[in-house]
Amino acid sequence: MFGLIHAHFIWYGDILVSYALCAFWVYWFRNRSPRFLTISAVILLAVASLYSLFVHFALNNNYIPQESLNDILKFWQPDAEVLRKEINAYLGNPIAQFQQRSADALFFETQLFLTTFLWRAGGMMLLGMALYKSGILLGKRSNKFYLVLAIVGCGIGLSLSSYGVVKNLENNFELNYSMFWGNQFNYWGSVFTCLGYIGVINLMLAKSLLKGLQRRLASVGQMAFSNYICHSVFCTFIFYGHGLGLFGAVERWQQLVIVLLVWVLQLWYSPLWLNKYHFGPLEWAWRSLTYGYRQPFKK
C-alpha cells in the first residue's frame, strides 16, 4: 500500500512494491539453513543475469523481431519527441505528472519486476537472511574475518563495477552492449561491494571507530522508511514542476552534490527526531497499521 502510493503519487522509481511482493514468498524460507539460503540466493540472482545474457545473445545474432527491437530501442535511447513529452509532463501540473509517473511506475511493477527485481531483490533478501542466521550481520565473527571480508568484497566489487563503467564508456553505452552485457559487471560487483561494506561496518563497531557517525547512521537506519519517502519528496521538489523545475537540466556532477546534500540533511535531523520520538513518522504509521493498534510515539 505504501509502495503504490509512493510510486504513483511521488516517484515512479519505487522499490517498496518489489520488496513487498518478494516478501510474500521469501517469508517461507525463514526456517532454512544459511547454506540453503546462500545457494538459493545465488541461483535467484543468476536468473536475472542469465536473462540479460540471453537477450544480449539474441540481440547480437538478430534473433529478436524488429518490432520488439524497436520497443527496446525506444526505452534505451528515446527520440527527441519522447524526451520532450516526458520533460514537459514532469514540469507540468500535478495531473500531467501523475499520468506520466503512473505509466512509468506500472512498467516498473510489471515488466521490470518480472525480468529483474523479482530475482534481484528476492536473491538479496535470501542472502541477507543467510548472513543474519550465520551471525555475520550480528558481529559474531572475528575481526580478521571482517577485515578479509572488507578487503575481498570491496576489492572484487569495486574493481568489477569500475571495469564495467570503463567498458560502457568505450562502447558509448550502445544498446547491443551496455543494456544487457555491460550491466553485468555492476550487477555482480555490487553484491561483492555490499559484503565488503558489511565487513567495514563490523570493523568500525568492533574498534569503536567514528562513534558519532555510527550513531547518526544508526538513526538514519531506524528511520529508513521515513527517510526514503522524505528524500523522494525533497528531490521531486527540486526536479518537478511544482518545485524548482530542474528536471532534465542537472548535470551528473550536480546530481552528486544533491545526493551529498540529502545525506547531510538526514544525518543531521534523524538523531534529533529520535531524541523525542520512538520511531520515524512513517515507521510509526506502518507499525500501527500492521499491529492493528496505535503504537507509542512520543518519548
* All cell numbers assigned to 40: 538459493
> In the chain, what are the domain boundaries?
2-209, 210-299
Dihedral sign, CA of 206, 186, 111, 227? positive
- Decide if 274 contacts 223 (C-beta within 8 A): yes
Q: What is the pLDDT of residue 59?
A: 85
Asked whether the beta carbons of 278 and 299 are under 8 A apart, the reply is: yes
Backbone phi and psi for residue 215, each to the nearest 5 degrees, phi listed first: -65, -40
Residue with cell 563497531: 205
Q: 232, 221, 295: which is closest to 262 by C-alpha? A: 232
Looking at residue 26, its pLDDT comes to: 96
Q: Which long-range contacts (CB under 8 A, 24 or more apart) does 113-117 make?
A: 113/17, 113/18, 113/21, 115/48, 115/51, 116/48, 116/51, 117/15, 117/18, 117/22
pLDDT the model gives residue 65: 85
Q: Quick one: pLDDT at residue 280?
A: 97
Is the C-alpha dihedral spanning 183, 115, 111, 157 positive or negative?
A: negative
| Burial degree of 45 (CB within 10 A; 0-12, 13-18, 19+) | buried
- Taking the C-alpha atoms of residue 54 and residue 184, their distance in angstroms, rounded to an integer, is 12
pLDDT, position 247: 94
**Average pLDDT along the chain, 299 residues, taken 10 residues at a time:** 96 96 95 97 97 90 82 85 94 94 95 95 97 96 97 98 96 90 96 98 94 96 97 95 94 95 96 97 96 96
Residue 145: closest CA among 69, 202, 215, 100: 202
